[in-house]
Amino acid sequence: MIWQPVFVVNASIHLTKVRLARKQIISSNDNLKLQSPTKKCYTDITEFAIPVSSQKLYLSPVLDGYNSEIIAYQLSTSPNLEQVKAMLDQSFTEEHYENTILHSDQGWQYQHQFYHDFLKQNGIRPSMSHKGNSPDNGMMESFFGVLSLRCFMVTRRCFTHLSNWNKLL
């Protein structure tokens, strides 16, 4: 008996050109040696679905790249600009932050004019991940992964109310 292939698969790869909005503020996440706190910070918004209800919670923290500490955070039942405003006000309380970089993804909250005005007013340089490239914001994504693991897989607790989440965080 002679072996013959039953079918042949032909595949081709199509590369598409990615257009980047706001090219001047998109930067790669260089692993810089940081000498002091709040020189490079990270932010993002993540969604948590509460297992026993249809409610969702949105967490917006700021993580300090110097010591991986959460500087401030805001919880909300919807991802809105007010949440980001409160998080920024809570995170950056001094008048000026010379040479501070705040890295985020390209979410609509971080493309809003208020966000850029706040950063400029406080001397903070914005930095954004490339579109669809979550490793650029790896420190923040890693934090969200650990938090999800702790909240849902290790403790196996079900939080049904916003105040319970505040106690956990």
Per-residue confidence of the chain (169 residues) as pLDDT tens digits? 555 544 444 444 445 554 545 544 555 455 555 678 889 999 999 998 876 777 888 999 999 999 999 999 999 999 999 999 999 999 999 877 888 999 999 999 999 999 999 999 999 999 998 887 767 788 898 888 888 877 766 555 555 555 666 665 5
Which helix (H) or strand (E) segment is 141 a member of? helix 138-148
At 36, the amino acid letter reads S
Is the Cβ–Cβ distance between 69 and 63 less than 8 Å? Answer: yes
Look at residue 156 in the predicted model and tell me its pLDDT: 52
Sign of torsion over alpha carbons 37, 69, 88, 111:
positive
Sketch out the chain's domains with CATH numbers. 39-168 (3.30.420.10)
Look at residue 64 in the predicted model and tell me its pLDDT: 93
Kindly state the tokens that stand for 10.
Answer: 């032909």
Look at residue 12 in the predicted model and tell me its pLDDT: 47
Other CB atoms within 10 A of residue 143 CB = 18
pTM: 0.73
Is the Cβ–Cβ distance between 41 and 100 less than 8 Å? Answer: yes
Pairing relationship of beta strands 56-64 and 124-128 according to DSSP bridges: unpaired
> In the 8-state DSSP scheme, what is residue 39?
S
Is the Cβ–Cβ distance between 127 and 102 less than 8 Å? Answer: yes
